Amino acid sequence: MAIHPIEFRYGTAEMRAIWEEEYRFSCIVQAEVALARASAAHLFIPAAAADAIAAGAGKTTLARAKEIEEEIGHDMMAIVKAIAEQCGEGGGYVHYGATSNDILDTATGMQVKASIAILDRKLRRLLFALLKRADETRTLVCAARTHGQIGVPTTYGLRFAIWASEVARHIERLGQMTPRVAVGQLTGAVGTQSALGGKGMEIQATMMEILGLVPVDVSNQVISRDRYAEYFMFLANVATTLDKIGIEVRTLQRTEIGEVEEAFGARQVGSSTMPHKRNPIKSEQVCGLARVVRAAVEPALQNNTLWDERDLTNSSCERVIFPEATILADHILALMIRVIDGLTIKHDRISQNLALLQGVNMAESVMIELTVRGMGRQEAHESMRQASMHALERKIPLAEVLSSDKKVRKFIAPGEVQALLDPRRYIGTAPAQVERLIQKLSPLCKESRG
């Protein structure tokens, strides 16, 4: 019976597969085989034993390992025994020179590497979706808002570009951190490699080369958890970007604003009691699950504060946070791609909101022009502040107030005011910034790390 929602509601099949018990078991078995192959390559065990272990590993089952674990109460040793009983005389060399976490942490490195490849692809897909939207809307002028209040104009293209730039930085971070987090080790009981004689460093290097992982430089019994903490902080950072986008979509979909709308199916139901509702449920789901992903950061940081050469407090915690945070981060990434791809942009409402303040939101434009024509900047600011407050209080167009303002008319003729209050003429370099960013980031959409 399923309990956690990632078992039946959240998560993509490809990411869930990486964190299922069967896949982890296969990673552990692969690590044991790689250990045997590397040991044989450096003449630490017979080549025939490594061949027997490789053959026997293919016959080893998770079910059998679980049977043994029921008897002995040790999950890693149960797998070792399950492999060994399939290897004949070579079984005596399974796990030779290793401690449990040499294999378990290396298996985690394999899972993290596979997860990173999926996250990388989805981040690039999201980047592509955002750049496409930025290109489509590079000159779509809209009301910007600061403190929740309408300000001078911006463009939807710039909004999408800002999000795209943030996603591109996540792709960059992912590439930078991968060699630090997708790692493995073979350092023995307390990190000295004493059970491997003088060949420990060489065997470790070869083992990780076989598995496609970066070997640690040094460790104790476990890989230092600052590496994993970085991974969880990365997931939290990505989740927060998605949360940020989701909040903006939800805000802009509010009835009072109504500038965008999530895709809504022909037979989709918005409410069990209010038939008219079209709710931004995908963005809401992104924002809600982002909280769970971020919640993994604190335990991940505490997992680095283990006793001496290690204790076991990290183990139970990591069994929860690795699959949960990774699967949910991947899920909300996929969800946000769907949101951006399907987003409806309502040009009529954008125009209505842009004109809502009857030109008051363009006061800066007039202030700047007054300064250019000779009025002091501070005087121009105060003059426009008073004119704006007057227009707002009387609920009349700013142009009407300015037409009777002697100070303003001294520098700007009434016939020129309307042009200064045109928001489409006050978007600065926004389109050029968008174009530059598209040219810079488009190549990232075509690359991939896995």
Contact of 423 with 354, CB cutoff 8 Å: yes
Task: Show the tokens assigned to 171.
Answer: 């792709």
Q: Are 201 and 180 in contact (CB under 8 A)?
A: no
Report the distance separating Cα 404 and Cα 366, nearest Å: 15
* Nearest CA among 39, 65, 63 for reference residue 51: 39
Report residue 293 CA to chain centroid gap. 10
Length of the chain: 450
Q: Are 280 and 374 in contact (CB under 8 A)?
A: no
| Residue 111 near residue 321 (C-beta atoms within 8 A) | no
Catalytic residues: 147, 271
> Which residue type is seen at 178?
T
Using DSSP bridges, classify how beta strands 149-155 and 183-184 pair: parallel, antiparallel or unpaired: unpaired
**3-class secondary-structure state, position 8:** coil
Q: Tell me, rounded to whole angstroms, the distance of Cα 9 from its chain centroid.
A: 20
Closest alpha carbon to 87 in 168, 32, 139, 142: 32
Could you tell me whether strands 214-215 and 183-184 are parallel, antiparallel, or unpaired per DSSP bridges? parallel
Please give the Cα distance from 405 to 408 (Å, whole number).
5
Whole-number Å distance between alpha carbons of 152 and 365: 8
